[in-house]
């Protein structure tokens, strides 16, 4: 009598088929991490991206997420960086910053060799600045000051050691050896080795709409983007796998998924208060004076992204790159740039002063008290999560706590509002 083969239950078969189907899809799709605005990070194969949604193949099935509810995407495996450092930094009028190996221009068109070797051609009217030397911190600070001057002509910035100088005129062609520069009607050929950077004048502000997203590629270039797409159907049809984004200036950029470091979709959805200019920031001295001294006002002003001693902010051993540090009796007011639903932060006395320190924190939204609490150096950092629905004006008050000494100070780390 022959033995009948055992039958596998139908439910198990279906489960196996589902697992094999997911495994095949996951292997075919690039592996990405998706961080929603709220909730846990998701991992899986990237199926597609368009202007409305991201589709991800996860171990539990296919998930569709609305773009408006996503903070960022990034490949699970960090992309391989180019084997060289940038020697040219190009800022575009649309907010993009390109890290490059070479920069030349001819007849109003720039030829830019990005890190990694890709060559792009961009009209010079879409270029804001070009930095051609790394330089020292002092030179970098002076460069930023010159760029911020808003000259009424092109500017060539020259360097000699740590000292840099600038000249108004008109920039013409740029080669790998020299820059053709019209100075008061006289055309000069300046050796490129002497030039720190170029600033292009634009008579009219950029008419390009602000990019909604920021894409960082493997070479470190940060692209402002008004759209990001990854058509999964094209991939399945045999086309090359490419993420594609369009800049506000209309430039189309394509990269393989493993050549993208991050896609930041949070612009306008998450805003760090340290990146906003407050409507007012007032420190009230314990002992008043008839006239405030500028030196004292500078000493007691709030600090952005650092402690009051200009050091990294640390709470309970963790370092925070974003936030505000404030002395007691300081009040800051913000008009929020949009409609936000939540305020989040971590409040605490900086590790440099723990276990000393005591400060009272009051947060008000449109004159309504949202939070009133005391923070001491003996307490663990306090997470803050507040409902901001309908709030348009936010007031932050840090006041003296139980100790009236120099430790009346507070770090508000990762202080942000979100939609």
**Residue 282: is its pLDDT beyond 80?**
yes
Residue 345 domain flag: yes
**Residue 7: is its pLDDT beyond 60?**
no
Q: What local confidence, expressed as pLDDT, does residue 300 receive?
A: 76
Element (H, E) at 164: strand 163-174
CB burial of residue 168 (10 Å; 0-12, 13-18, 19+): middle
**Residue 25: is its pLDDT beyond 50?**
no
Q: Which of 19, 43, 73 marks a domain boundary? A: 73
Percentage of the chain beyond pLDDT 70 is: 86
Q: What is the CATH classification number for the domain harbouring 55?
A: 2.30.30.100
Residue 389 domain flag: yes
Q: What local confidence, expressed as pLDDT, does residue 26 receive?
A: 45
Q: What local confidence, expressed as pLDDT, does residue 23 receive?
A: 47
**pLDDT average, residue stretch 163-183:** 95
Q: Which of 73, 95, 127 marks a domain boundary? A: 73
Residue 313 domain flag: yes
CB burial of residue 356 (10 Å; 0-12, 13-18, 19+): middle
189-209 per-position pLDDT tens digit: 999 999 999 999 988 766 666
Q: Are 173 and 106 in contact (CB under 8 A)?
A: yes
Q: What is the mean pLDDT of the chain?
A: 86
**Residue 259: is its pLDDT beyond 70?**
yes
Residue 61 domain flag: yes
Percentage of the chain beyond pLDDT 90 is: 59
d(CA 141, CA 134): 12
Q: What local confidence, expressed as pLDDT, does residue 383 receive?
A: 96
What is the tally of structural domains in the chain?
A: 2
Residue 90 domain flag: no
Q: Are 46 and 32 in contact (CB under 8 A)?
A: yes
Residue 151 domain flag: no
Q: What local confidence, expressed as pLDDT, does residue 405 receive?
A: 54
**Full domain range(s) for residue 15:** 10-73
Q: What local confidence, expressed as pLDDT, does residue 294 receive?
A: 67
Q: How confident is the model at residue 180 (pLDDT cuts 50, 70, 90)?
A: very high
Q: For residue 205, how many other CB atoms are within 10 A of its CB?
A: 7
d(CA 130, CA 103): 8
**pLDDT average, residue stretch 316-321:** 92
Q: Which of 73, 106, 127 marks a domain boundary? A: 73
Residue 203 domain flag: no
Q: How confident is the model at residue 290 (pLDDT cuts 50, 70, 90)?
A: low
**pLDDT average, residue stretch 310-317:** 92
């Amino acid at each position: 009598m022959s033995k009948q083969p055992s039958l596998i239950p139908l439910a198990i078969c279906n489960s196996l088929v589902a697992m094999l189907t997911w495994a095949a899809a996951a292997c075919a799709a690039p592996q990405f991490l998706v961080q929603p605005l709220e909730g846990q990070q998701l991992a899986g194969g990237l199926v597609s991206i368009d202007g409305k949604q991201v589709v991800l193949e996860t171990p539990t099935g296919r998930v569709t997420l609305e773009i408006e509810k996503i903070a960022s995407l990034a490949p699970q495996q960090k992309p391989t960086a180019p084997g060289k450092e940038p020697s040219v930094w190009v800022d575009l009028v649309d907010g993009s910053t390109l890290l490059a190996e070479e920069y030349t221009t001819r007849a109003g068109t720039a030829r830019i060799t990005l890190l990694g070797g890709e060559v792009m051609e961009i009209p010079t009217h879409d270029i804001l600045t070009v930095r051609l030397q790394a330089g020292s911190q002092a030179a970098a600070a002076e460069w930023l000051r010159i760029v911020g001057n808003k000259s009424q002509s092109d500017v060539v910035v020259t360097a000699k050691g740590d000292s840099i100088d600038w000249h108004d005129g008109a920039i013409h062609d740029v080669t790998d050896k020299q820059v053709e520069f019209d100075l008061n009607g006289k055309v000069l050929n300046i050796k490129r080795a002497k030039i720190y950077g170029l600033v292009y004048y634009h008579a009219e502000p950029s008419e390009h709409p602000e990019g909604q997203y920021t894409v960082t590629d493997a070479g470190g270039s940060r692209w402002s983007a008004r759209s990001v797409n990854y058509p999964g159907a094209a991939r399945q049809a045999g086309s090359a796998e490419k993420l594609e984004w369009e800049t506000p200036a209309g430039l189309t950029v394509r990269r393989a998924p493993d050549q993208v470091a991050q896609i930041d979709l949070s612009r306008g959805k998450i805003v760090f208060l340290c990146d906003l200019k407050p409507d007012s920031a007032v420190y009230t001295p314990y002992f008043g004076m008839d006239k405030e001294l500028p030196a004292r006002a500078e000493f007691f002003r709030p600090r952005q992204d650092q402690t009051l001693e200009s050091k990294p902010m640390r709470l309970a051993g963790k370092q925070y790159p974003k936030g505000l540090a404030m002395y007691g009796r300081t009040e800051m007011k913000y008009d929020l740039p949009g409609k936000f639903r939540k305020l989040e932060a971590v409040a605490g006395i900086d590790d440099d002063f723990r276990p000393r320190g005591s400060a009272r924190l009051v947060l008000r939204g449109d004159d309504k008290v949202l939070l009133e609490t005391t923070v001491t150096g003996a307490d663990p950092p306090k997470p803050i999560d507040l409902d901001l629905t309908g709030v348009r004006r936010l007031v932050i008050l840090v006041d003296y706590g139980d100790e009236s000494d120099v430790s009346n100070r507070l770090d508000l780390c990762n202080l942000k509002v979100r939609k």
